[in-house]
């Protein structure tokens, strides 16, 4: 989300004011965090008063908890120093910064793709010796409209030939670019001819940031969902501009009132595309099960949260529009947001869907905005911005959730974007990291600007890293482990750069260069396992598979194969888990897509990449 100055206006439609003028010089901004209170009324009625801003006292970090665990910035060392933009970005461009990591050439090393605005995109091929070669133009993925800009990206095998193709999501006037991998070292752009078309409206930015692939209908191929940060319906709020958010009505209440008024116009570019099995797509948006014109979406994630074997759709959305849509056995989706106990985040942006508390059920972490003052007030005078911070919803495995944000101590994350939940220290518990930032340099603020103090509050916020610590609270340890970057972070991708078993971190920043942090974990008796799944048919990477790894200690780790599902980014397909002291006699259970019973592999040793190939033809698993 971002503020807009009076000169930059959002289109006005059907009587709904799209420019959120504030009496001060600030207008619209995406922001975040609802309350930790009850879910909104089924009508979407919201709360009568604004939720309190996040308040999270600093937590002391016991030195023993981080001994031998740290990260080092190796960005320059490996040659990733090019900036995300070569000009100053304005408007919704300040929300861009995408990254995708995968082994596109199938040589055993993960490669890096970075999106840019006003400059060609970058593809860094891993040379296998600790460095990268930039090959975007040579391989045909630099983009032919750099002035339009690109946001998110992800690799996926859309045509089932075994080679990873590349989806690039436009941010300005650009739409969707689908670069098809020919398997011989080159790509060709085929998005439009394969049916991936978004409505084009002159002078209106696309504002599409993230996407995810899934075989949601279980017909054996990868379908695509793309989200649009759609603003035409956004509530106008108090145009007199209260001194703080504390005196205004609830953002969720305002948003619900606008939706209930019936004044929302069609115009969202959010789309569900179904794959025909050969990598050609048709529009199936009518099956989504909610009015996407009322969703300012940032991040979609497919995951089976109710345990019925069908992947559901979770949307992190701005302005109280996060949604949980349950998959009704491939016939479509049903919006159960209100009854499921989610959607209280006011400005959802990033998303993580993983088993964070180790009970075997998927949980949902949504990044948002938190800028509490010493007095406990919210300093952001914008009617569309909340200050109550992130949300952590714990799932029960049957599609219902409870808010455990404060129990785990993960509410206060500043202006949050991308997030990841992995076991970075290999102790057997997932950790949680998020990047954030609204602005990275105070020099962007003109002297005398009416909201100069407000903007300066958002300069150089630190990233957040919570160390997994049982039932909570989890200590925040970013500074203690060397994650000291204060740039304007957007996408976050964990991957094992060196193949040494611990996960490194790639951060895509807005305007500036990316950051690559090497994990320098040096702790004895910490083990790991990576799992690489392959199958025949159109879904070669087994997207939608679920894996459970159990060691002699009895601790079980649940892992899902996904294509996308994180803010503006795509992760590698290899699953990764820390094991603590469990070094051998592991049991690995794999529920292949559409299969009700798992394949069971016993006697597995730790500290390796376990490659498993599905024995049967997946076909259509519906």
Q: Determine contact, residues 475/63, Cβ cutoff 8 Å.
A: no
Task: Give the alpha-carbon dihedral of 180, 593, 304, 564, to 10 degrees.
Answer: -20
| Dist CA 313 CA 561 (whole Å) | 15
Flag whether pLDDT at 451 surpasses 90: no
pTM: 0.89
User: For a pLDDT cut of 90, what percent of the chain falls above it?
Assistant: 69
Least Cα distance to 21 among 42, 33, 7, 32 occurs for: 7
pLDDT band at 327 (very low <50, low <70, confident <90, very high): very high
Which DSSP state fits 193?
Answer: G
Q: Determine contact, residues 435/489, Cβ cutoff 8 Å.
A: yes
3-state helix, strand, coil in the chain (%, to 5): 10, 30, 60
Average pLDDT over residues 243-255: 60
pLDDT band at 201 (very low <50, low <70, confident <90, very high): low
Domains of the chain, residue spans: 63-519, 527-613
Least Cα distance to 117 among 439, 515, 510 occurs for: 510
Average pLDDT over residues 359-373: 92
| Dist CA 416 CA 412 (whole Å) | 9
> Model confidence over 212-228: pLDDT tens digits?
999 999 999 999 999 99
> Model confidence over 569-601: pLDDT tens digits?
999 999 999 999 999 999 999 999 999 999 999
Query: 273 burial class (0-12, 13-18, 19+ CB within 10 angstroms)?
Result: buried
Dihedral sign for Cα 60, 62, 63, 65, please.
negative
Q: Where are the alpha helices (DSSP H) in 33-82?
A: 63-66, 75-78
| Dist CA 157 CA 113 (whole Å) | 16
Is the pLDDT higher at 242 or at 388? 388
Flag whether pLDDT at 32 surpasses 50: no
**pLDDT for the residue numbered 388:** 86
**pLDDT for the residue numbered 63:** 81
Average pLDDT over residues 115-127: 96
Average pLDDT over residues 356-375: 90
Residues whose CB is less than 8 angstroms from the CB of residue 138 and which lie 6 or more positions away in sequence, other chains included: none
CATH number of the structural domain 527-613: 2.60.40
Flag whether pLDDT at 565 surpasses 70: yes
**pLDDT for the residue numbered 42:** 29
Is the pLDDT higher at 19 or at 364? 364
Flag whether pLDDT at 23 surpasses 50: no
**pLDDT for the residue numbered 27:** 32
**pLDDT for the residue numbered 39:** 32
Least Cα distance to 353 among 521, 506, 571 occurs for: 571
Q: Determine contact, residues 488/94, Cβ cutoff 8 Å.
A: yes
* Token pair listed for 445: 């603020």
Residues whose CB is less than 8 angstroms from the CB of residue 223 and which lie 6 or more positions away in sequence, other chains included: 213, 214, 215, 216, 217, 272, 273, 274, 275, 281, 284
**pLDDT for the residue numbered 258:** 75
Determine which of 55-64, 88-97, 515-524 has the lowest per-residue pLDDT on average: 55-64
Average pLDDT over residues 376-401: 86
Phi, psi of 89 (to 5 degrees): -90, 145
| Dist CA 293 CA 270 (whole Å) | 8
**pLDDT for the residue numbered 450:** 53
If one counts every other C-beta atom within 10 angstroms of the C-beta of residue 522, the result is: 11
Flag whether pLDDT at 527 surpasses 80: yes
| Dist CA 189 CA 181 (whole Å) | 9
Least Cα distance to 435 among 571, 566, 559 occurs for: 566
Average pLDDT over residues 122-149: 93
Flag whether pLDDT at 511 surpasses 70: yes
Flag whether pLDDT at 544 surpasses 80: yes
Q: Mean pLDDT over all residues of the chain?
A: 85
Which DSSP state fits 159?
Answer: S
**pLDDT for the residue numbered 263:** 64
Flag whether pLDDT at 40 surpasses 50: no
Flag whether pLDDT at 31 surpasses 80: no
**pLDDT for the residue numbered 582:** 98
Paired with 254 in beta bridges are none
Q: Measured in Å, how far apart are the chain's first and last C-alpha atoms?
A: 38
DSSP assignment of 495-541, as one string?
Answer: E-SSSSSS-EEEEEESSS--EEEEE----TT-EEEEEEEE-SSS-TT
User: For a pLDDT cut of 70, what percent of the chain falls above it?
Assistant: 81
Question: What class is the 63-519 domain?
Answer: mainly beta
């Amino acid at each position: 989300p971002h503020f807009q100055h009076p000169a930059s206006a959002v289109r006005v439609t059907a009587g709904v004011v799209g420019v959120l003028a504030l009496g001060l010089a600030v207008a619209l901004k995406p922001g975040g965090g609802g309350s930790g209170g009850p879910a909104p009324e089924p009508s979407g009625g919201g709360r009568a008063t604004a939720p309190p801003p996040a308040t999270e006292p600093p937590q002391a970090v016991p030195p023993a908890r981080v001994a031998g665990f740290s990260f080092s910035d190796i960005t320059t060392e490996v040659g990733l120093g090019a900036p995300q933009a070569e000009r100053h970005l304005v408007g919704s461009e300040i929300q861009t910064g995408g990254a995708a990591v995968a082994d596109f050439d199938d040589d055993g090393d993960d490669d890096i793709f970075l999106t840019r605005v006003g400059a060609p995109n970058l593809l860094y091929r891993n040379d296998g010796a600790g460095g990268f070669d930039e090959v975007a133009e040579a391989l045909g993925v630099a983009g032919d409209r750099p002035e339009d800009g690109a946001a998110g990206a992800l690799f996926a095998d859309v045509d089932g030939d075994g080679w990873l193709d590349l989806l690039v999501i436009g941010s300005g006037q650009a739409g969707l670019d689908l670069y098809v991998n020919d398997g011989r070292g080159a790509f060709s752009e085929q998005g439009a001819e394969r049916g991936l078309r978004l409505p084009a409206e002159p002078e209106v930015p696309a504002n599409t940031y993230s996407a995810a692939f899934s075989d949601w209908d279980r017909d054996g191929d990868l379908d695509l969902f793309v989200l649009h940060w759609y603003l035409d319906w956004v509530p106008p709020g108090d145009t007199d501009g209260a001194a703080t958010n504390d005196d205004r009505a609830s953002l969720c209440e305002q948003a619900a009132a606008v939706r209930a008024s019936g004044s929302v116009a069609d115009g969202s570019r959010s789309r569900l595309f179904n794959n025909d099995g050969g990598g050609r797509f048709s529009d199936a948006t009518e099956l989504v099960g909610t009015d996407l014109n009322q969703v300012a979406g940032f991040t979609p994630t497919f995951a089976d949260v109710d345990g019925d074997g069908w992947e559901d759709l979770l949307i992190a959305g701005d302005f109280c529009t996060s949604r949980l849509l349950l998959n009704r056995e491939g016939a479509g989706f049903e919006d159960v947001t209100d009854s499921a106990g989610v959607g209280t985040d006011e400005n959802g942006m990033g998303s993580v869907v993983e088993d964070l508390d180790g009970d075997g059920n998927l949980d949902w972490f949504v990044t948002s905005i938190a800028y509490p003052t010493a007095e406990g007030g919210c300093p952001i005078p914008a009617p569309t911005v909340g200050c109550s911070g992130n949300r952590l919803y714990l799932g029960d495995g049957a599609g219902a959730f409870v808010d455990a944000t404060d129990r785990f101590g993960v509410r206060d994350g500043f202006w949050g974007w991308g997030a990841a939940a992995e076991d970075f220290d290999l102790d057997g518990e997932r950790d949680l990291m998020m990047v954030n930032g609204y602005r990275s340099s105070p020099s962007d603020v003109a002297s005398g600007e009416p909201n100069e103090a407000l903007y300066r509050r958002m300069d150089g916020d630190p990233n957040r890293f919570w160390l997994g610590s049982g039932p909570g609270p989890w200590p925040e340890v970013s500074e203690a482990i060397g994650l000291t970057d204060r740039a304007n972070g957007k996408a976050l991708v964990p991957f094992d750069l060196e193949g040494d078993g611990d996960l490194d971190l790639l951060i895509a920043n807005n305007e500036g260069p990316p950051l690559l942090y090497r994990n320098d974990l040096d702790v004895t008796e910490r083990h790991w396992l990576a799992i690489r799944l392959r199958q025949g048919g159109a879904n070669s990477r087994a997207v939608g598979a679920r894996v459970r790894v159990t060691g002699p200690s009895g601790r079980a780790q649940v892992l899902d194969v996904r294509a996308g599902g994180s803010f503006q980014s795509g992760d590698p397909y290899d699953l990764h888990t820390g094991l603590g002291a469990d070094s051998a006699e592991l049991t690995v259970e794999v529920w292949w897509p559409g299969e009700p019973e798992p394949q069971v592999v016993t006697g597995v040793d730790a500290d390796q990449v376990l490659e498993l190939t599905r024995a049967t033809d997946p076909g259509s698993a519906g």
